[in-house]
Chain A
């Protein structure tokens, strides 16, 4: 038995060395091995909690979120995330999933907007559970698992916000003079060992990032949504906290999602 095992071990460690040697240093191969099992994604527990919150009658008006229209009609959750951000007539603006959730929770369920936005993300430093907003968002998003990234672009406001998002992507400001493009504007770049997607062009990198988000972030022990991703990036740029669901973040998300068009959603994702 031992004799069989040893050459096997040797072979696999040789194969591993080959994987690491062939590329620039990064941790992708390691992560692939660790996060490869989709059924072991802790985000699935948060998805379940989000589903309960979604279907429960809540808020001062005591109604469930099944009364909401996320773009494909009242009560439809299957496939809505695949076609967001989109223009909504009732608010006369383009909305991403999370800004739309706020609209629904304030107008239909009667929650107070300021109260809802008081605590948008779980703080990983104190090991908090995901917030209700994060749980509901990952539940809705996961109902587009396996679907094509397909944000609508027929409405002039949809076209407009993508252009604004693109301009914002190149907008340099703050004490480090950064824009999104400082890190995400060229191929095969890294911060230390962390690979950076090139989102200045449509295709693979944007598809991989958008397609796997919301994601369970192992380093946070929590599910993270796109609003959190934008907030976190802006913080890295040493800029103020972004306002949850404001047009600024929606425009950036609209631009990134447009760059990711025709990719596939694999949700919930799992990443470092």
Chain B
């Protein structure tokens, strides 16, 4: 008697699981449909930005909690995209980096203030990170970068890690909140090298 009940229970659970998966698919289909109709069209709108790559697809589906396997796949894939500056010079100029760190301009599309081609973009890093202790208006979505080399040192490995982390944050943390600044073409390899200097140069206010 017990066995048939157990078997039918298992069946119900299985069927329930299948139903839930179908339900997820239906919701995802609507997500795609709503995105395709939810934004204005036209050349200034850059609708190609709405296309997700495989990494962002996984991050969205898992709500930024990928499985260990998924995380490994993402980190390997993202690491392979990293491009380095001319002559592998990953340590730039900290004073230039200070500007890049602070500037929030760039990548706007649509009706309001599209980018001026000759104005350099920035990383808007203070939106999320503290760095120079004199900058009070710093956000807290990311970790504090104040005293960067006190915590990490400024060895060649740290320079390389810092460059790679900024170029493609997901090469170290799958589904990191942080934008992939180099990979997505927001910042150039040279700008990223300047940011690295702002963080690891002992003369930078970050380390004072």
Contact = CB atoms under 8 A, between A and B. Distances in A.
Contacts of A248: 34-35, 37-39
Given A163-B27, A190-B141, A238-B107, A170 B39 contact: no
A193 B46 CA distance: 30
Contacts of A235: 108, 110, 112
A191 B37 contact: no
Given A193-B137, A239-B39, A240-B45, A172 B59 contact: yes
Contacts of B27: 160, 163-164, 167
Nearest to A174: B49
Nearest to A170: B63
Interface stretch (A29-37, A178-186, A260-268): A178-186
Interface in A201-247: 234-235, 238-243, 246-247
A173 B51 contact: yes
A104 B54 CA distance: 41
A160 B30 contact: yes
Interface in B68-124: 107-112
Interface string B176-197: 0111100011100000000000
Contacts of B178: 177
B39 A179 contact: no
- How many residues of B sit at the interface, in one of the four size bands? 35 or more
Given A173-B51, A175-B107, A242-B40, A168 B56 contact: no
B126 A192 contact: yes
B138 interface: yes
Nearest to B186: A175
Given A168-B34, A175-B179, A177-B184, A238 B63 contact: no
A25 B179 contact: no
B140 A190 contact: yes
From B40, B108, B138, residue with most partner A Cβ within 10 Å: B40
A125 B45 CA distance: 20
A251 to B, nearest CB: 6
A25 B136 contact: yes
Contacts of A183: 141
A198 to B, nearest CB: 12
Given A191-B141, A241-B110, A177 B40 contact: no
A54 B50 CA distance: 37
B11 to A, nearest CB: 25
B50 A189 contact: no
Nearest to A234: B39
Contacts of A190: 139-141
Contact of B107 (A176, A193, A194, A241): A176
A142 interface: no
Contacts of A172: 52, 56, 59-60
A186 B113 CA distance: 30
A24 interface: yes
A189 B112 CA distance: 27
A55 B39 CA distance: 31
Nearest to B45: A240
Contacts of A234: 39
A247 B31 CA distance: 10
A155 interface: no
B180 A240 contact: no
A246 B37 contact: yes
Contacts of A188: 140
Contact of A181 (B64, B109, B110): B64
> 4 closest pairs, A vs B, by CB?
A248-B38, A240-B45, A241-B110, A240-B39
Given A170-B64, A191-B128, A235-B108, 15 more contacts: A25-B136, A25-B137, A160-B27, A167-B60, A170-B63, A171-B60, A176-B184, A183-B141, A188-B140, A235-B112, A240-B49, A240-B50, A246-B37, A247-B37, A251-B34
